[in-house]
């Protein structure tokens, strides 16, 4: 799906449970179509300047009248969510690019969706799309407690409400997610989708792998990632431009190239959005991202330049 630059209006803001702000964004007419799992890039004005942040679309993909988002106020983040919570009001204009989809639904006989906290947002769009197709699925929504469960009021009225299982750490609902109970037996046509806090995601993914699920049947999307971008120095040769730069121990490829006059577009800076993916001609890659699949990593011809590094002393990029 090609990127689109849009200026949209905040038609509605709802401060929901769990420090999650629901936004409804509208334009002058129908918005670009999207499929479940897609996100938009939203330009956020922070004290340090404008930054791009990615937010999953939570609404019904068949409804092109609006984009619906859920944004967690996270004081531990790099400031984007806090700035939005503090400054964004109904009627405000926002700059948006997208939608783009790196987390699409696969053809499956049964889809099992796990949404932890704010990770519920792409799962809701998936539930809408699966329901419209008459597909077989279940959605497990995990939160700390009912009073921290965003979208709860809407969920009760969704046409697929009976397919949503609420899990609360305090024992309410179905209680905490229990993979021995909630993860179906591995089957060729069963696909697992997970989004939420990194620890929750890794727990579900490891549980699915241990249960015998093939890597191709386990789908994930990270909202943020703890990534270590440091390491030994190495050189980056740009084959097309003829420029070679050195990436220092505390440096990144993107920053080193920028000093050399070559700009690679970045947005998340955590290796989760794929904006900075660059073709690699030669050199072994030390992948630090959460974006590329294992198959793509094994091919060794792409790198997330915002965080990944070279394993050796030199890497050659096709730029």
Percent of the chain with pLDDT over 90: 83
Q: Tell me: pLDDT of 163 over 90.
A: yes
Three-class secondary structure of residue 311 per DSSP: coil
Percent of the chain with pLDDT over 70: 98
For residues 237-246, average pLDDT: 94
Q: Tell me: pLDDT of 315 over 90.
A: yes
Rg (C-alpha) for the chain, rounded Å, is 20
Residues of the chain with CATH 3.10.20.30: 234-317
Choose among 283, 286, 236: nearest CA to 264. 236
CA distances from 278 to 73, 126, 233, 254, 263 (A): 31, 29, 19, 10, 12
pTM over 0.75: yes
Q: Indicate the CATH number for domain 110-221.
A: 3.40.50.80
When the pLDDT of each residue in the chain is averaged and rounded to a whole number, the result is 93
CB 62 within 8 A of CB 87: no
Tokens found for residue 221: 């999307």
Q: Tokens 């909630």 label which residue?
A: 182
Q: Tokens 């990144």 label which residue?
A: 252
Confidence of residue 2 (pLDDT cuts 50, 70, 90): very low
Q: Tell me: pLDDT of 1 over 50.
A: no
**The CATH number, out of the four listed (3.90.180.10, 2.40.50.100, 3.20.20.70, 2.40.30.10), of the domain defined by the range 5-100:** 2.40.30.10
Which pLDDT does position 106 carry in this prediction? Answer: 97
Three-class secondary structure of residue 147 per DSSP: helix
Choose among 269, 275, 242, 237: nearest CA to 255. 269
Cis peptide bond prior to 99, omega within 30° of 0: yes
Digit-coded pLDDT (tens) for 53-75? 899 999 999 999 999 999 999 88
23: Cβ contacts below 8 Å, ≥ 6 apart: 10, 12, 13, 14, 68, 69, 70, 71, 88
56 alpha-carbon distance from chain centroid: 7
Three-class secondary structure of residue 93 per DSSP: strand
Which pLDDT does position 74 carry in this prediction? Answer: 87
Digit-coded pLDDT (tens) for 27-62? 999 999 999 999 999 999 887 788 888 999 999 999
Phi, psi angles (nearest 5°) of residue 145? -160, 170
The CATH architecture assigned to 234-317 reads: Roll (3.10)
CB 227 within 8 A of CB 268: no
Digit-coded pLDDT (tens) for 132-145? 999 999 999 999 99
Digit-coded pLDDT (tens) for 207-225? 999 999 999 999 999 877 6
User: Any idea which of 14-18, 77-81, 158-162 has the lowest mean pLDDT?
Assistant: 77-81
Please measure the distance between the N-terminal and C-terminal CA atoms of the chain and give it in whole angstroms: 23
Digit-coded pLDDT (tens) for 264-305? 988 878 888 888 999 999 999 999 998 888 888 999 999 999
Q: Tell me: pLDDT of 80 over 90.
A: no
Residues of the chain with CATH 3.40.50.80: 110-221
Three-class secondary structure of residue 268 per DSSP: coil
């Amino acid at each position: 799906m090609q990127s689109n630059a849009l200026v949209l209006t905040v038609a509605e803001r709802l401060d929901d449970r769990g420090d999650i702000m629901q936004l409804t964004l509208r334009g002058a007419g129908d918005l670009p179509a999207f499929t479940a799992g897609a996100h938009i890039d939203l330009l956020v004005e922070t004290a340090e300047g404008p930054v791009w942040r990615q937010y999953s679309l939570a609404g019904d993909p068949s409804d092109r009248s609006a984009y619906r988002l859920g944004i967690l106020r996270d004081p531990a983040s790099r400031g984007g969510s806090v700035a939005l919570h503090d400054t964004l009001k109904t009627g405000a204009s926002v700059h948006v690019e997208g939608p783009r989809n790196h987390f699409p639904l696969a053809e499956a006989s049964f889809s099992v969706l796990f949404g932890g906290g704010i990770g519920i947002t792409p799962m809701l769009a998936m539930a809408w799309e699966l329901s419209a197709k008459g597909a077989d699925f279940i959605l497990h929504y995990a939160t700390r407690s009912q009073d921290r469960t965003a979208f709860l009021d809407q969920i009760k009225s969704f046409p697929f409400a009976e397919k949503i299982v609420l899990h609360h750490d305090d024992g309410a609902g179905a209680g905490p997610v229990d993979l021995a109970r909630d993860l179906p037996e591995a089957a060729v046509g069963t696909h697992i989708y997970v989004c939420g806090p990194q620890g929750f995601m890794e727990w579900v993914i490891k549980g699915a792998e241990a249960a015998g699920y093939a890597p191709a049947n386990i789908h994930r999307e990270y909202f943020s990632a703890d990534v270590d971008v440091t390491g030994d120095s190495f050189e980056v040769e740009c084959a097309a431009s003829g420029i070679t730069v050195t990436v220092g121990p505390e440096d990144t490829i993107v920053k080193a190239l920028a000093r050399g006059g070559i700009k690679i577009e970045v947005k998340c800076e955590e290796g989760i959005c794929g904006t900075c993916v660059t073709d690699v001609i030669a050199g072994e890659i030390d992948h630090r991202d959460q974006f590329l699949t294992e198959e793509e990593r094994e091919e060794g011809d792409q790198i997330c330049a915002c965080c990944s590094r070279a394993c050796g002393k030199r890497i050659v990029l096709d730029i």
